[in-house]
Amino acid sequence: MKTLMITTLFALTIAACSKETQTSTPSASKEKTYAMTATIVSRDPAKNTVSLDNKEVPGEMPAMKMDYELRGAKVAELPPDGALVEVTVHDRSGSYYVTGVKARSEVRR
């Protein structure tokens, strides 16, 4: 009986410690957002993705061409391919998507 009681107490202690460890670590990674200027290269309505050729975002992302999932809108609603746009990039530990795509006119001097 004493062995059973000690074993049960030991098992409960282990379970409590492991649960405490699980709750102390963040379950969701932090999401960073930032504004980015880009040109729409193409789109895929079936996947609701858009290919953007973006300008550098200092400290966040170099200038490059990349496909992004579009959230909150359909790619068919976006300005035409070749249009300069401003978007909000969402970065979840290296997994990216865009929202808030708006046409932007380039100021020429």
User: For the segment 9-55, what is each residue's pLDDT rounded down to a tens digit?
Assistant: 555 556 665 544 444 444 456 899 999 999 999 999 999 999 999 99
Beta bridge mates, 57 = 61
78 and 40 in contact (C-beta within 8 Å)?
yes
Taking the model in full, what pTM does it have?
Answer: 0.69
CA distances from 65 to 2, 8, 41, 53, 97 (A): 68, 59, 8, 4, 14
- SS3 of 12, please? helix
Confidence band (pLDDT; 50, 70, 90) for 105? Answer: confident
Domains, the chain, with CATH or none: 31-103 (2.40.50.320)
